[in-house]
Structure formats: C-alpha cells, structure tokens
Structure 1
C-alpha cells in the first residue's frame, strides 16, 4: 500500500499538470514491450521503426522501468503549460549527483546491454539523452500532440469542475480503482509499502494517455511529488479523423470539411479537436462558422454541448 500524507498547506498547493516527457517515456516503454503499456501505443509502431535501434533511444527506454524509472529522464512537470522543450531543458541541467544516484538504483536491479552501458558512461549523457528524446518526439508524438493534449485537457476540465463544486476527494474519486482520499491520507494499492509526506509541497495530479491502467508516482527528493493517472477518454487518441470528401474541401476548407464529415456522430468540441489534431479554440472557431452557415446545430446535454449536422449539413457531407 502506498500512502501520501496531505496537510492543509498541501491541499492549497496541489494542482493539475501535463507531462510531455512522461507521455513520451511510457509510449516508448510500450513500444519496446516494457510493462503492460497502453494498447493505443501499437499504432505508433511504424514510425518507431526508424528510431528503435538507436542506442540513445534504447537507453531512454532502459531508464523507464519496468519496476522503477529514473526521474531525471522524465521529470515531473510544473503545470498545464509544460512543453517538451521545458522538459528537455530540465534534463540537460539535472543535478549530476541525483542522476548518478538514480542510475545506480536501476543498475542494481537490471543489467544494461553493452550499448546502453556505453551511453550511460558518456560524460555527455544528459545532452545525448535530451537530443535523442527530441528526435523520438518529432518522429512519434509531435504530429499528434495537439490531439493527445486535447484529451489531457478534457480530463483536467472535468476534474477541475468537480474540485470547485465538491473538493479534492471528489476530483480524485475515479482516477483509479484503488485510489482513495480519506481525511488527510491518499492511499492506493502497490506491491511495496511506502509513505510519502508532502510537507507543504503539494501534489501534482497528471493525466496520461500512455500510462495504461496503472498509476505512476513521483515521490523521491528533490522532485515535486506527483501522481500520474489514466486520462478519461484516452481511446480518442486512437480514433482516426474521417477524410473529407473531395468536393467539400474546396468549398469549406479542409478543416471545416473534416469537421462536417466527423459530425456523422454528434460530438463535443473537445472530441472533434482530438480527432482533427486542431486546438480546441480553433475547432470552436470553425464550428461557429458552420453553425452560422446553418450546416450544424448544437444542444446542451447535461454538462456537455454537442454539435450535430443539420439536414443541409447532411446533404453536403453526402
């Protein structure tokens, strides 16, 4: 059982955040077959083939688990605006003593291959690791990061609404089947017994598409304590946006045409943004144009606003 002791100051200091390097780390883990992984990782296999044999990429995967990972290689984020560039800067400037200690813990558990050992022994390890992660990011996640981020932001908005109306325990209630916040203690099942005392540092709550069905915890000094949990609607990332028909794209523009075709099923702005890879703001702007043109309508159902095609929109979409 893992216990996180939460004081009044921690409640005030806790917040949600997004962790690009964690998403990349667990995607790469899954693609190498480390741990249970997230099923949606399989769709990245073709793109991963170009980088999977790179010694630095293999080193990055070695540092991720399966039992423990080197926190310096996928550091906890600062907030919702975190970018992969922010994470890479933290990696390049990581404290050498912390790096050596975390690598030592992993070496005690599993022997690296000779090529991975050579990278770990390189004085330029941190720069090489950051450069390698940047290359993997460009190959795998950069094209789809807007879609992934839209899913993560949707989860945070859902929980933030619960937080404002019912408090932190309600915001956490369905993050994971074994997680519970009772009084001043957060608990969840884990193989080893451990207690983390926040001591006023607060807790980062980080949704993830690629963590699979488990939870990941950052609890060691000097890093900010964090819990990474499966995001609601992670499966949206694996959905393919329907291609707009050829006559529609010149008439409406490719993005609006794609939205109109996607609205064969009534959908929210967030889902449409996740499907198309556009930002939520841009998707909303395009939907307003379609709404003003009489091609779509919208209705509020409970706390969601769903868009659907009008008969005119159906006729145009074919």
Structure 2
C-alpha cells in the first residue's frame, strides 16, 4: 500500500467491531474447526436457525480465495442493520460482476443467478441469513469480540496520538512492514494499492487470522482488516477486579465506567452509584491524575487521562 503525506493524515482505526467482516471471517474459522470460544459455544448449542443461515452464506464466503466485496460494505461500521441495508442496496452491476468472479473459481447454488440479477426476494433472503447468523453465532459472544477489538484499538490510537500515524504503523510489525511511504503485508497474491489521498481505514478483527485482508475493488474506500491482538496473559478480563484492592470496588467501577467520556449523571448511572458519590469519586481520581474534568454549561464532563487509561488497561509499566 503506497502512502502520500495526505494518506497518513487520513489513516484511522475503526471505532467499533464491524459485524459483517466478523461474519465473513468467523464463518471461515468455523469451517476450519479452529478452537474459538465464540464458535465452540455455537457448536455446542447447535442452533438450527444458524445452521440454515450457514448453508446459505457458505457458498458466498469460501474459506480460501475471493469473496465478494459487497458482503462487507463500509456502512457496516454503523452497525449490523446499516450494513445489511447497504448489502441489499448493492447496484446490480456490482452484484453481477462480483458473483461472476466468485463463480469463476467456485461452484454456486441455483439461487446465485437471481442474486446476481438483484432479485429482491433473494436479496432479502440473504439479509435474513446474515441476521440469523449474527444472532445465533456472534451475538452470544459479542462482548468478548468487542472487548478484544477495543483493547487493540486503544493500543493503536494511543500510539497514533503520542507518536503520529507513521510510528503507529510500526506497531503492526511483524504482520505489517512499514518502510515509508509503503506498507507491506504477506498476502496470497501480489498487489500494489495506491491510496491516492484517500487514506486507509484499519479494522481490527477478532476472527481475522495469520494475515490481513483487503478489498479487491480498488475503487472502493481502502480498508485493511487485521487480527486484533490477543490480551496479554497477565491481563484479567475485568480490569476493575484487578484495581479494586488498590482503589476500592466503587472507585474502580467509576474508573472503569470512564472508558467512554461521561457526564457526572451518566457516570453515576453506569457505575451504579448516587450522583453525589460519582462526583466525589471523580474528584479523588482527578486529584490522582487519572481523570480530567471540564464544565460545559451546567454539566461536568469526565474523561480518562493517559495515565488513567494505561492503568485501566493494565499497560502502565511497573504498577
């Protein structure tokens, strides 16, 4: 991937998990029978509705080689329903071209032809299958998926804020190699992608494995999906539980609730404490340098400082 200075300025990390990329990549893992907590749970449940969805989706998402770009639209960054709406609104020309590419290397079922022609009934059947698969396979384990992706996102964005985008790209080594102005990845086929001032959206994924994945159509907005880092073995799933002996259970809960900026009333609601208690604990954490507070009109807004973020994520050295 070839960058210009403008591309570096427009490169960013996706703000939340992409439900359609996770759908495609989890389906790949499901058929490879790798051990994954989310998929192991699905296998144990044997959800019949998800099995039907799997049968419909599998031909469109082969575990090796090409799968259609229209299955992972950029709109899915807004959530599952936004993504499915975009899939259903795919122009017929794109459907025809991408399913044609898929058919060149893979046998497809009889309904693939009406899908390539934009048949509304077939498209809505695809939408139902995507919802059923997400509900049966991904939704039960979505907190774990989101937690790993958020931890990775915080790691990358922290490096980007402190050191700049060029240095943030070095955090992907050895999976990606940054030799300005080119970002190189081990990839099944040789490709050169010129970002041409559009920047790059980096999407951390729970189910992406071994190497990153990119869209084939270079006229679409450049996206690179990569494996989110697994948590450090020494990190607990609940950082609040680790901090409780140091801060006390209530103050640890208040700190943990500030993983997103909140007003005092929002903080009280998410931490499960009274308004006065939330204000008091925020003041103590602010004096300790873990929280920053600013007044906007009649509300006090609280955010984690860099120190507070590092402490909560378990990344603070020597703690």
Q: TM (normalized to structure 1)?
A: 0.70
Deviation digits for residues 101-132 of structure 1 (CA, Å, limit 9, x no counterpart): 111111111223xxxx1231332332211111
The correspondence of residues 15-30 of structure 1 with structure 2, limited to 5 A, is: 15-17=12-14, 18=16, 19-30=18-29
Aligned-residue offset at 1:52: 4.6
On the 8 A contact 1:38/1:212 being kept in 2, the answer is: no
Structure 2 vs 1, CA of residues 262 and 131 (structure 1 numbering), >3 Å: closer, same or farther? Answer: farther
User: Aligned match of 2:310 in 279, 286, 304?
Assistant: 304
The 5-angstrom pairing of residues 69-80 of structure 1 reads: 69-77=67-75, 79=77
Conserved 8 A contact 1:176-1:229: no
SS at match of 1:207: strand
Normalising by the residue count of structure 2, what TM-score does the alignment of the two structures yield? 0.69
Select 2:40's aligned residue among 33, 39, 42.
42
Given candidates 132, 136, 156, the residue that maps to 2:133 is 136
CA distance in 2, matches of 1:62, 1:87: 20
The answer for the alignment partner of 1:245 in structure 2 is: none
In structure 1, the gaps of 5 or more residues are 242-258, 274-278, 309-318
SS of the counterpart of 2:225? Answer: strand
Map of 2:111 onto structure 1: 119
Match of 1:205 in 2: 202
Higher relative contact order (CA 8 A, sep 6+): 1
1:75 Cα deviation from its structure 2 partner = 2.2
Deviation readout 1:26-48 (Å, 9 max, x if unpaired): 112222338x6857532332345
Kept after mapping to 2: 8 A contact 1:88/1:130: yes
- CA gap 1:173/1:42 in 2 versus in 1, 3 angstroms: farther
Q: Deviations over 1:36-77 (max 9, x none)?
A: 6857532332345423542x5323222223212111112245
Q: Deviations over 1:286-315 (max 9, x none)?
A: 55749x69xxx999789622499xxxxxxx
Task: Compute the RMSD of aligned alpha carbons.
Answer: 4.1
Q: Please, which runs of 5 or more residues in structure 2 have no aligned partner?
A: 279-283, 291-306, 315-319
Q: Does 1:228 align with 2:225?
A: yes
The one-character-per-residue Cα deviations of 1:143-180 (angstroms, maximum 9, x if unpaired) are 44344223322221221111122122322223352311
Structure 2 counterpart of 1:249: none
Q: State the 1:233 CA deviation.
A: 3.2
